[in-house]
Structure 1
Amino acid sequence: MPTGHVEIPALPVMIPLGVALMIVAALVLRRRGELTRGRLVSWWLAGWYAVAVLGATMLPLRLTWGPGAGEPELFRILVIPYVTMRVDDFVLNILMMLPLAAALRVVFGVRDGKRVVLTGFLISLTIETAQLLMLLFLNGARWADTNDLIANTLGAGLGWLALQQASRRRRQAEPAVRS
């Protein structure tokens, strides 16, 4: 079997995917009878957020396989949390998942903090598992890092807390309705 190599750049994937999500959002909202400018923009922002997460975590994608591909770079697998932590990456992973609570609320109506945190954990677990499998079997260039899993889950939880705080402040700022 000959050595194979594929490199998938970010923009040719992200832009068509983002546009496709915009079209799907408009069609779904129209079919449900819920198409308003505000709702459409919210869904579009949530879709582009998902595209940005995909781009930040998986793209560009560089894979090599077959004889001559070399051994997987096992130093890219960081299993022990905190000891091998890169602080800047940890903070960026927290920041990346902060908008998740808002996206889940706008698109799926999720308001429960446990569901937001679980969703953030599962999204992160999926990303890290995909990166690990590509690293081991296709000589992928990404890192599989338990710190990312922790930071992403923490970011989802902090995003939910921030959304709750913003909602409380908005309710407090609303004038009392007189009967």
Structure 2
Amino acid sequence: MKNLSILIMGLFLVTASSIFAAGETKSSEKISVIKLDTLESASAGNTNFSGNVFLKRMFSANNSSDISAGVVNFKAGSRTAWHTHPQGQMLIITEGKGWIQQWGEPVIEVQEGDIVWFPAGVKHWHGGTPDSDMTNIAIAPIVDGRSSDWLEKVSDEQYKK
């Protein structure tokens, strides 16, 4: 129930900010529902991730939204590469424990229920701890067709600090 509440809160915040930013909605638009259990989980691959990372894309840019969102599961020891977001990113931690780090700053441990905001252009990474999986909902605006700018991978030495 706690995970569902966190999911609903996050999606409400994203949807509300999108509506207020766009002004009035079109009266011809209809409500749509995406059932989380209908979304396919796929490996996030190894180009921008290290270890076993799985992604369920919740939605991406469409006619009425310029927001990307997904449920990301990081197995213990897995992580993103260093990256930035042109308009920032919100993570809602729904399960487990993880680590986040901004370039030049110490690692911060996060856990279920935590909400993380990465400001626009801030170089960072996130993932599971060495001994815990972490699942989060990642939400980011899409700018010029992208929500992330990927950089170099986080080395094992950087990760273990």
Q: Pick the structure with greater CA Rg.
A: 1
* TM-score computed with the length of structure 1 as normaliser: 0.26
Which has a greater percent of strand? 2
Higher helix content, 1 or 2: 1
